[in-house]
Amino acid sequence: MEFINRITQAGVSTQIVSELLTGVEGDFDLGILYICPWPPYDPLSIFQALKAKGNIRHLICCTCAGIIGATREIEGRPSASLMLMRLPQVKIVPFVLSQPVLETLKVKEDWYNFLEVYPNEKPSFIVFADPFAFDGNGFLAGLNEAYPGMPIVGGLASAASGPGENTLILDGEVMREGLVGACLTGNLRVETVVSQGCRPIGETFIVTKAQRNIIYELAGRPFYKVLEEVLNKGTDYDRHLAHEAIFVGIAMNEYKDKFKRGDFLIRGVMGVEPQSGAGVVGDHMRVGQTVQFHLRDGRTANEDLHELLKQYKAQAQATSAHGAFVFSCNGRGINLFGEHDHDIRIIQHHLGPVPAAGFFCAGEFGPVGGINFLHGFTNSMALFYPQQL
């Protein structure tokens, strides 16, 4: 198994492709190309030139607001990042999925027929979707049911401000909406680290009254009263962050005695109903769930990424991954941390040197507690190992 990454900020398609393929020889099973398509970058012409010149069996392309390479992150400027993979004894099932086709995949058997892949094959998925005209949560719900516990990683294309402006390409098929991706089975193990960039505040509470995405009561008391008490016990800085944004962490395993980083799915508090004191959150809630309020800022996100990678390295079954994909929210980067190359620098510090590629997303796919979700403000990474070490 071999992964090779190249990035470039060259000017025209031929020069771009030449730089991306510098020093690259031989055939590859899979290539994934991320393009930040500011002029003069044209995604389709770059893709076609790369496909013509490179010996790549399957090639996927996604446009984005910024790219990530093994040592650099380039935001808001013309750039491209390419990951090339040799994957011996790995079956690659590339697929495209439109919204109308997604709506026909109603039960597990529909997914098995569509992909011709079954749960006993232990598949991993790497996917890229348009955020405007595709139901990413519906897609995840279908795959989570059909292939429970299997990782789905990737992100939402981020180069556009409106429908039809992103470009997704799989081999010869160009999509302006929908999803492109690859299902991988065989001699491959994919491990994930999802950093949601938050820290908990206060204690945990049981949801005692909820409907749809509204929490009415926590531990028998109005949602807002509980939140108010938690913030009153916090610091001035906590209250400052809460004024900017407050989050609810939903415990993925309610039977744990103690919770640690990575045990919560983070969802934003969208608002509070003045009369009832109920909280409107960014997910469906149910009675009996364990939740804890969370806060987020650059310092917290930095700490969270460091700590999760330390935890992962301490329990990793191999000294070094063969390759890594990094999907970082476009709200991170220079906007959140005030410095370039933040996430990739920390990843290489803990896990490197490792070939790495990715992009700044409009939403990130990744598992929390063994279930795949669509996230925001998250760094979701996939680490690739051969199954037979």
Looking at every residue in the chain, the average pLDDT score rounds to 93
pLDDT of residue 40: 78
Q: Does residue 331 have a pLDDT over 60?
A: yes
The answer to whether residues 102 and 139 touch, using CB atoms and an 8 Å cutoff, is: yes
pLDDT of residue 39: 78
pLDDT of residue 244: 86
pLDDT of residue 238: 93
Consecutive H or E run containing 52? helix 43-53
Each residue of 175-224: pLDDT tens digit?
999 999 999 999 999 999 999 999 999 999 999 999 999 999 999 999 99
Q: Does residue 353 have a pLDDT over 60?
A: yes
Closest CA to 304 of 269, 340, 248, 350: 350
Percent over 90 (pLDDT), the chain: 85
Give the model's confidence band at 10: pLDDT under 50 very low, under 70 low, under 90 confident, else very high.
confident
pLDDT of residue 319: 66
Each residue of 260-281: pLDDT tens digit?
777 899 999 999 988 889 999 9
In angstroms, the CA 99 to CA 177 distance is 8
pTM: 0.91
Question: CA–CA distance from 66 to each of 19, 37, 334 (Å)?
Answer: 18, 9, 11
End-to-end CA distance of the chain: 11
The SS3 call for residue 130 is coil
Q: What are phi and psi of 197, to 5 degrees?
A: 70, 25
**pLDDT, average across residues 322-350:** 95
Each residue of 59-72: pLDDT tens digit?
999 999 999 999 99
* Single-letter code of the amino acid located at 364: E
The answer to whether residues 130 and 165 touch, using CB atoms and an 8 Å cutoff, is: no
In angstroms, the CA 261 to CA 253 distance is 13
pLDDT of residue 314: 87
Q: How many residues does the chain have?
A: 389
pLDDT of residue 383: 96
In angstroms, the CA 301 to CA 336 distance is 9
Each residue of 286-311: pLDDT tens digit?
999 999 999 998 999 999 999 999 98
Closest CA to 386 of 198, 109, 184, 165: 184
Each residue of 60-115: pLDDT tens digit?
999 999 999 999 999 999 999 999 999 999 999 999 999 999 999 999 999 999 99
Each residue of 127-151: pLDDT tens digit?
999 999 999 999 999 999 999 999 9
Q: Does residue 126 have a pLDDT over 60?
A: yes
Please report where in the chains the tokens 């009675």 appear, as a residue. Answer: 287
**pLDDT, average across residues 242-246:** 90
* Single-letter code of the amino acid located at 26: G
- For residue 301, give both structure tokens: 């996100």
Each residue of 22-71: pLDDT tens digit?
999 999 999 999 999 887 788 999 999 999 998 999 999 999 999 999 99
